[in-house]
Structure 1
Amino acid sequence: MSTQATPIPTPTAPGGLPLIGHAHHLARTPLPFMTSLREYGSVVRIHIGPTPAYVVTDPALTRRVLVTDAAHYTKGGKIIDALRVFFGDGLATVADGDTHLRNRRLMQPMFNKAHIATRGEAMIAQVREMVAAWPADQPRDVYADMNDITLAAFLVALFGTDLPPRLRTEFTALMPAIMKGTIRQTVLPSWITRLPLPAHRAHARRVARLRALIDQAIDHRSARHPDRTEDAAAAAGCPHAAAAGSGAADGLFSTLLNAEEPLTRQQLQDEAITLLTGAIETTGTTLAWTLYEITRHPEVERRLRAELAAVCQDRPLRHEDVEQLPYARRVLQEAIRKYGPAWMVTRTAVRDMDLGGHRIPAGADVVWSPYLHQHDPAHFPGADTFDPDRWTPERVQATRGSFLAFGDGRRKCIGENFAWAELQIILATVLQTWPRITLASRAPRPQAVVTVKPDDLALRFHADTKGGTARPGGGERPVAAG
């Protein structure tokens, strides 16, 4: 696609500083800064250090970048380069081409609904055990709890039910610090990230330790199950065999370990890190915000509990119930819309491009923001209002093309089906276990790290509906009341 002879002048966002450009805005006030760019035009130039980047504020133009003209905007840019240090060449960061296509085709069966269903009951059991262990009536750091639970559930799904507890514990301890260090590297100028600062060295050590843990998880699986080829073949032909056969302890990762064209150990590590990050941080953040919004909207909570009771009656949740909870899905989708989860994603133009009349030079970073698009009042009236009914069939058409939390096009998140299943399992289990939830801290403020997380959020979980005797229980994450 050739550029126009007389392109539209691209405005530059105000507030840039010598050497660092707009990096101080991205580091200190990323969400207000990102959403403010809409007032300057559909494409706005910013600087990350001395390097210009082009922020797309019109969701229709973002769809051109991701779908229509995707061949001319490759997976790259400063954010992807920084994430590649962490992910390696996992599916989320590997360049477009044969490797990406091969790995996506290899991993696709892991995330079809039938395969996910084989892990559903194991995930529910893991989540139920953890949620039931919380002590009643005590303030809890819910963001930390949700990340712990999503990690534990995903480890069961990914590596199987017999992963040693010590590995799960260390995964849980490492991931938050690693994610914080990773996002720091995405917003700082590259010359700063190359300095041998203590924070950078600590981040490198944590990433190396994470890779060692993944190796241990793979070795543990291989030692316990040296040959699952026959089981895998049987499961491919019969979903019930996968759920009940001798391979039931295996996880989704067995698909990669049993591939006809084996992946190297480095490639296995890269894909495991990509999957862990994609499944934990975004899911945990969404659940924390969802539970917060439930405490603010009693009618939403009432409808959620009524739907769950109608489907499950008096029995515990089963995996087949998940598809029968449409209101729960709308509540979760509204939490994803309102709070991100991602707030800044990049592509790289491979040639001079015309984007909405603006000239994008070859090699330039193109930035898009799901958070910005999902707060666009033209598509989401009352964008700051939590309204699950905006996702009813009658109203959802108005949002078409603007909900981009999972991306779009050929690089759309491969784990979307799994994310919805995990989100609904955890939300339903929390509601079944605890009849009442109340806020125990001030209202949280959105904080852009990897996801848009709550800066401080504590909730209380009550065993009764209107106060009374607390049930006994254990727990690991109490906090002081705010």
Structure 2
Amino acid sequence: MTASPAVPARVPTAPGGLPLIGHAHRLARTPLPFITSLREHGSVVRIRLGPTPAYVVTDPVLTRTVLVTEAAHFAKGGKIFDVLRGVFGDGLATIADGDTHLRNRRLMQPMFNKAHIATRRTAMIDQARSMVGAWQEGQLRDVFADMNDVTLAVFLVALFGADLPTHLQREFTTLMPELMKGAIRQTVLPPWVTRLPLPANRAHTRGIARLRALMDQAIDHRSGGPESTTPDPAEAAGCPHRAATDERQSGLFETLAAAGDQFTRRQLQDEAITLMNAAIETTATALAWTLYELTRHPGIEQRLRDELAAVSAGRPLREEDLDQLPYARQVLQEGVRKYGPAWMVTRTATRDIDLGGHRIPRGADVVWSPYLHQNDPAHFPEPAVFDPDRWADGRAPSTRDSFFAFGDGRRKCIGENFAWVEMQIILAAVLETWPRLRLVSRPPRPETAITVKPDRLAMTFGA
């Protein structure tokens, strides 16, 4: 842990707090400028969410202390996780630290090893190519909405197989963005506001109930429960054609379900909902911003197309090609770096503890921000510049040391490997299908939900 003086320093308080609501108005109205401005006031800065204090860590070295070196004293928790737990339940991302988390992570780890993900690549490529290919040439597209749709569809194919009913996919696509908007609203507002019988609060509660009903149907469909489709008679007769399609129709969920009595029905729901959100929220945001950056940097776009052409040699992309696209990975990593994806994450101090010479009291929320660290000019020179070559081999290690998009330590995102594969597949599908990308809206402004998303991003795609 970073050495601290014998007498801990007083934690500076951010200016601009108001009675009763503290800094909630700053977080609600100008969240990114506010969180970025805290760097000017110290390595740890105190803010208030309503009457409750929180401690924002602006130094990536101290964030690594929180997540890795002294992780035992900074439990995953805080207001944002309390709110997300209301949506996800006790999924892997929100369940408290301890034996249950370690057991669940061990049971789920096989789903996300590279070899297992590789078995789903072909189905994911087929799904992405089908959806992107259905766009009409020259049609005005809401790219962020499109990326949400495509990432969700690709994820559902990977998780539940290729035969999930279309109406479930449609409802998931409609419901998840609204639930995430409601979650971030409940995070930044004082708790007493979120408990009032307001229309927005009631709609959020109804949305959570509907999400669980939909996930129940998806689980039943995959596991042969009461909502599953009637088996094809050919299957009972041992039809070879049916057997040949089973691999494509199966998914990663089989690995989760194979844990049997290790997971209750509620836990299966919680884990599937958590994985779905993690798969679409960050990847859709990163892909939308990356496509926007390609419209601004034709040289980068051309390098991507050249790499894709050299690997695929004029044929459609295959799953084995994905490991031969290093520049595509750099481009995506720079998109993830520049735009977050998360802008505020919390931990809870489990005891009074010194952090970088500052005393953090037991029970306090400790806030860290991937967006803040990944746009820090001390670690990423000219952070506003979109530069995929930051990630080329041999570049400064401080770049990687300040990259927290997937967290770090024992709570690091279990699906990181899957996320990179999904993003590469979808980006390649867009580029191989559409030779021309054009921005037709004004440049998008960053807008905070759980991730930092574009407020408006309209593009056309042409041959």
**Residue pair 1:343, 1:451 contacting (<8 A) in 2 also:** yes
Alpha-carbon distance between aligned partners in 2 of 1:215 and 1:456, rounded to the nearest angstrom = 33
**Residue pair 2:344, 2:370 contacting (<8 A) in 1 also:** yes
The TM-score normalised by the length of structure 1 is: 0.91
Q: Which amino acid aligns with 2:355?
A: L
Give the corresponding residue for 2:186: 185
Task: Give the stretch that moved more between structures: 121-130 or 259-268.
Answer: 259-268
Alpha-carbon deviations, 1:237-290, whole Å to 9, x = none? xxxxxx968444111111121114331111111111100110001100100000
1:40-189 pair list within 5 angstroms:
40-189=41-190
Give the corresponding residue for 1:325: 325
Alpha-carbon distance between aligned partners in 1 of 2:5 and 2:196, rounded to the nearest angstrom = 41
1:262-277 pair list within 5 angstroms:
262-277=262-277
Alpha-carbon distance between aligned partners in 1 of 2:320 and 2:364, rounded to the nearest angstrom = 46
**Residue pair 2:67, 2:409 contacting (<8 A) in 1 also:** yes
**Residue pair 1:342, 1:451 contacting (<8 A) in 2 also:** yes
Task: Give the stretch that moved more between structures: 392-401 or 451-460.
Answer: 392-401
SS in 2 for 1:315: coil
Q: Which amino acid aligns with 1:353?
A: I
**Residue pair 1:83, 1:182 contacting (<8 A) in 2 also:** yes
Q: Which amino acid aligns with 1:170?
A: E
Q: Which amino acid aligns with 1:161?
A: A
Report the CA distance between 1:208 and its aligned residue. 0.5
Give the corresponding residue for 1:39: 40
Alpha-carbon distance between aligned partners in 2 of 1:350 and 1:108, rounded to the nearest angstrom = 27
SS in 1 for 2:268: helix
Report the CA distance between 1:396 and its aligned residue. 4.1
> Where in structure 1 are there 5+ consecutive unaligned residues?
228-242, 464-482
Q: Which amino acid aligns with 1:261?
A: D
Alpha-carbon distance between aligned partners in 1 of 2:355 and 2:460, rounded to the nearest angstrom = 49
Give the corresponding residue for 2:17: 16
Task: Give the stretch that moved more between structures: 285-294 or 257-266.
Answer: 257-266
Report the CA distance between 1:338 and its aligned residue. 0.3
Cα distance change of structure 1 residues 137 and 396 upon mapping to structure 2, 3 Å threshold: farther
Give the corresponding residue for 2:390: 390
Alpha-carbon distance between aligned partners in 2 of 1:6 and 1:358, rounded to the nearest angstrom = 9
Report the CA distance between 1:426 and its aligned residue. 0.2
Q: Which amino acid aligns with 1:384?
A: A
**Residue pair 1:4, 1:354 contacting (<8 A) in 2 also:** no
Give the corresponding residue for 1:208: 209
Task: Give the stretch that moved more between structures: 312-321 or 340-349.
Answer: 312-321
Report the CA distance between 1:194 and its aligned residue. 1.1
**Residue pair 2:337, 2:371 contacting (<8 A) in 1 also:** yes
Q: Which amino acid aligns with 2:210?
A: R
**Residue pair 2:123, 2:248 contacting (<8 A) in 1 also:** no
**Residue pair 1:4, 1:359 contacting (<8 A) in 2 also:** no
**Residue pair 2:76, 2:97 contacting (<8 A) in 1 also:** yes
Report the CA distance between 1:101 and its aligned residue. 0.4
Report the CA distance between 1:4 and its aligned residue. 5.4
Alpha-carbon deviations, 1:309-339, whole Å to 9, x = none? 0000111111111110000000000000000
SS in 1 for 2:401: coil
SS in 2 for 1:461: strand
Q: Which amino acid aligns with 2:105?
A: R
Give the corresponding residue for 1:298: 298
Alpha-carbon distance between aligned partners in 2 of 1:428 and 1:187, rounded to the nearest angstrom = 37
Alpha-carbon distance between aligned partners in 2 of 1:134 and 1:225, rounded to the nearest angstrom = 29
**Residue pair 1:344, 1:367 contacting (<8 A) in 2 also:** yes
Alpha-carbon distance between aligned partners in 1 of 2:260 and 2:207, rounded to the nearest angstrom = 32
**Residue pair 1:138, 1:460 contacting (<8 A) in 2 also:** yes
**Residue pair 2:163, 2:249 contacting (<8 A) in 1 also:** yes
**Residue pair 1:353, 1:362 contacting (<8 A) in 2 also:** yes
Give the corresponding residue for 2:337: 337
Alpha-carbon distance between aligned partners in 2 of 1:10 and 1:405, rounded to the nearest angstrom = 26
Alpha-carbon distance between aligned partners in 1 of 2:229 and 2:102, rounded to the nearest angstrom = 29
Report the CA distance between 1:222 and its aligned residue. 2.0
Give the corresponding residue for 2:285: 285
1:441-480 pair list within 5 angstroms:
441-463=441-463
Q: Which amino acid aligns with 1:217?
A: A
Alpha-carbon distance between aligned partners in 1 of 2:437 and 2:248, rounded to the nearest angstrom = 35
The TM-score normalised by the length of structure 2 is: 0.94
Q: Which amino acid aligns with 1:379?
A: H
Task: Give the stretch that moved more between structures: 263-272 or 47-56.
Answer: 263-272
Give the corresponding residue for 1:426: 426
Task: Give the stretch that moved more between structures: 34-43 or 181-190.
Answer: 181-190
Give the corresponding residue for 1:249: 249
SS in 1 for 2:22: coil
Report the CA distance between 1:3 and its aligned residue. 8.0
Give the corresponding residue for 1:349: 349
SS in 1 for 2:261: coil
Q: Which amino acid aligns with 2:266?
A: Q
Alpha-carbon distance between aligned partners in 1 of 2:301 and 2:171, rounded to the nearest angstrom = 34
Report the CA distance between 1:221 and its aligned residue. 1.4
Cα distance change of structure 1 residues 304 and 244 upon mapping to structure 2, 3 Å threshold: farther
SS in 1 for 2:7: coil
Alpha-carbon distance between aligned partners in 2 of 1:386 and 1:34, rounded to the nearest angstrom = 21
Alpha-carbon deviations, 1:447-472, whole Å to 9, x = none? 11111000111011011xxxxxxxxx
- Percent identity between matched residues is 73
**Residue pair 2:343, 2:371 contacting (<8 A) in 1 also:** yes
Alpha-carbon distance between aligned partners in 1 of 2:171 and 2:260, rounded to the nearest angstrom = 31
Cα distance change of structure 1 residues 163 and 38 upon mapping to structure 2, 3 Å threshold: same
Q: Which amino acid aligns with 1:299?
A: G
Task: Give the stretch that moved more between structures: 83-92 or 1-10.
Answer: 1-10
Give the corresponding residue for 2:309: 309
Q: Which amino acid aligns with 1:363?
A: G
Equivalences, count: 448
Report the CA distance between 1:443 and its aligned residue. 0.5
Give the corresponding residue for 2:358: 358
Alpha-carbon distance between aligned partners in 2 of 1:353 and 1:3, rounded to the nearest angstrom = 11
Give the corresponding residue for 1:232: none
Q: Which amino acid aligns with 1:53?
A: A
> Where in structure 2 are there 5+ consecutive unaligned residues?
232-242
